[in-house]
Structure 1
Amino acid sequence: MARFLSLLFFLSLSLCCCRSQGQGSKMSVRLRNEGSPLALGNRVELECVFSGRDLSDSGVSWMLQHRQSVPQFILFITSLGRVAPTENGKPPARFEAKRESSIYRLTVKSFQEQDQGNYYCIVNHNQRLYFSSGIPLHLPAPPTTAPSTKATTTQPSTTTGTKEPRDCKQFLNSAKATEKGLDLSCHLYIWVPLAIACLLLLIALLATITMCQKTRRRRCKCKRPMNGSNGKPSMPNRYM
């Protein structure tokens, strides 16, 4: 029982250390040209930036998560700046990747509708996974054409009335897209130590109940006093 409790304790301690190291390392994904608008057919360049150089020499995996779907693997770029081949033995044709100093860059050659989603970079360092903050890339909603009216003075009011809801919807969609990001590691780091703590409490309670039951079943092992005087056994009356 003691060995099992110690094993669970060291397991929870290692998970806590993994969580603290994951939170201490900072990774982020950013657009190289943030001012350029996102449109169909444009060339989009993303950069994975590290706060320190301890993780930049382990290579980077790029992931794409569409709306309401699981993350998809794009490619892996080594610390030497080489793109690892995929299942078919060739790097993906729609993407390019390279390394410049401590920055890993992913380029979408011609941005299409299927390339929309949240982009992440992941590093596997010392048998631990480190996730970056995601960046949403979505095409702007197509402009709605205002209905033609005879009076020209009413056109500005119709355009301003339809523009504000569209901007609000774009803001809400972008906010929801960032909230639906890859938060598996956060849930894992929170719930696993809690589950282990509950398991330890349950084991301690069962051990206490077992010890209490054993103490109740103990019997007195004292010798019974012998009849008669001076500790001598008394003879039955029929032999007197």
Structure 2
Amino acid sequence: MARSLFLLFLLSLCHCKCQGQIQVKLLSNRPMKPGDSVELECVITDSSLSDSGVSWMHKGKDSVLRFIMFISSISRVTHASNKDKARYVGSKKPSTYGLTVKPFQEQDQGEYYCIVNRNQMLHFSSGQQVFLPVPSTQPPTTTAATTTRITTTPAMTTCPGTQSPALTQDTWLNCDFYIWIPLAGTCLFLLIALLATIITCQKTRRRRCKCRRPANANNGKVMANR
């Protein structure tokens, strides 16, 4: 905490300078998710600045610059608060100062800077943006309910002459049953009516043929006497 106040005091007194000799790089390029470890590296190309130590700063979505830690040239790390020691890990390599944020959370999103204080002048690096990927919002897929309508066609309405290829053999038998039974009954009725007509006609003819004939015997006798 004292280091943070001291840094803010230096910001008010010292001159600030941004230059290309200090750069912040994100070591992992894979998509991040909450809970991952994020590694940042502060690369100092100017040898005159590499032995002055580095302060790591974070600017969140609220645009407030917050001090994280200070890493000295002898790899001594001073955190802004004791509760941040487990989440922020600092490291020192030749000409590079590392920062590891674990686990990375939503409040850790924003821009990260490394600052070098030398001769009452603050040298700022360019900001490195670190954000979680925005989840893709896909419209919900709705499955339309399909209603299957089953139409039952009676077997009498479809006959072999007009039937569709989808009819089965049972439908053929049903059509034959409903056609041939009435047809056979009609033929039997017509046959009975025809027989009745023939019998009636024969009886009528016999009645008409019963009549008296002239006596041929008497006529013969008369002719003989003459």
SS at match of 2:67: strand
- Aligned pair count reads 131
Alpha-carbon distance change, 23 to 118 in structure 1, aligned in 2, over 3 angstroms: closer
Q: Distance in 2 between the 1:42 and 1:68 partners?
A: 23
Task: Note if 1:73 corresponds to 2:101.
Answer: no
Match of 1:136 in 2: 129
Aligned with residue 116 of structure 1, among 109, 116, 128:
109
Note the C-alpha offset of 1:48.
0.3
Q: Under a length normalisation based on structure 1, what TM-score does the superposition of the two structures give? A: 0.50
1:29 aligns with 2:12: no
Q: TM-score, normalising length from structure 2? A: 0.53
Cα 1:51–1:113, aligned 2, differ >3 Å: closer, same or farther? Answer: same
Q: Secondary structure of 1:114's match?
A: helix
Amino acid at match of 1:28: Q
* Match in the other structure for 1:38: 32
Gaps of 5+ in 2: 1-13, 145-226
- Cα offset for 1:120? 0.3
RMSD, aligned α-carbons:
2.2
Distance 1:87 1:33 in 2: 26
Give, in angstroms, the shift of residue 69 of structure 1. 2.6
Shift of 1:150: 4.0
Report the structure, 1 or 2, having the larger helix content: 1
- Using the TM superposition, give the Cα deviation of residue 125 of structure 1 relative to its aligned residue in structure 2, in angstroms: 0.6
Give, in whole Å, the separation in 2 of the partners of 1:147 and 1:85.
Answer: 46
* SS of match in other structure, 2:78: coil
Kept in 2: contact 1:60–1:121 (CA 8 A): yes
Unaligned runs of 5+ in 1: 1-14, 152-240
SS at match of 2:107: helix
1:91 Cα deviation after fit: 5.8
Q: Which has the higher strand share?
A: 2
